[in-house]
Amino acid sequence: MKVAVTGKGGVGKTTVAAFLARCWRDLGREVIAVDADPDANLAGTLGYHGPDIAPLASLKALIQERVGGAEGWGGFLRMNPRVDDIPEQFGIVVDGIRVLVMGTIERGRSGCACPANILLREVLNHLLLTARQCVVVDMEAGVEHLGRGTAESVDAMLVVVEPGWASLQTAGRVAELAGHLGVRNVQAIANKICGGDDAAFIRAHLAGLPLLGSLPFDRELELAARAGSVSGDSPFYREVLRIAQRL
């Protein structure tokens, strides 16, 4: 199973991605969690408190070795570099989940052929096309940076929304972009739900997106998740577990 989690900033998509990774791990699956958001904090949300993790996009020696090219664009580039060993070599294991931090990924249709972007795209290609693990990609809002080939290989695009117009408008744009890139399975996850009115508002304004699940608002739970102390008895965890089993 390969899923990409997206949504407007602040809706809790990183928390959802982290809990989904935990639930798959608890179901006995091998999980790779990919942080593809420039504001990378997926490892911390999973409970990592070590030194800063250098994103792949910043590893100049690795990029030079695998892709080639000279500093500032020049030189011959290998468009299909070897990347199969990168998740294990450069990912860190956080509580049984392998985490890979990508760094900034240029838009898939921007025509960017810089060495760093080639490496990042090929790593995503490898994970989404050939890896046998469950893969959770915590994305920035939008989907174009996946590119058409990788986007078509995502089993599901999960758009996290909250009870507000802004996140629902973002969800509509994400769904439209996903359709252009060939992603057929786009579903919404409602987050920060405080009651029936919140759930009804979201259902009424999802513009046709199927609702996969609803997660309760729980600020204390989010803080506990960042500290790595997650209870399997919480309503939030149990609902994400149901979502993981549905997927």
Q: Which of 143, 209, 206 is nearest to 180 (CA)?
A: 143
Provide the 10 A C-beta neighbour count for residue 39. Answer: 8
> What's the distance, CA 246 to chain centroid?
18
Q: Mapped to the 3 state alphabet, what secondary structure does 186-224 carry?
A: EEEEEEEECCHHHHHHHHHCCCCCCEEEEEECCHHHHHH
pLDDT at 134: 92
pLDDT at 25: 95
pLDDT tens figures, 129-181: 777 889 999 988 766 666 666 667 788 999 999 999 999 999 998 888 888 87
What is the total count of domains within the chain?
Answer: 1
Q: Which of 5, 103, 122, 126 is nearest to 56 (CA)?
A: 103
Q: What is the dihedral angle through the alpha carbons of 173, 174, 176, 182, rounded to the nearest 10 degrees?
A: 170
Domain at 178, CATH number = 3.40.50.300
Domain interval for residue 42 = 2-246
pLDDT at 193: 95
Using CA atoms, how far apart are residues 18 and 41, in angstroms rounded to an integer?
Answer: 10
pLDDT at 110: 47
Q: Which residues of the chain have pLDDT under 50?
A: 72-73, 109-111
The model carries a pTM of 0.88
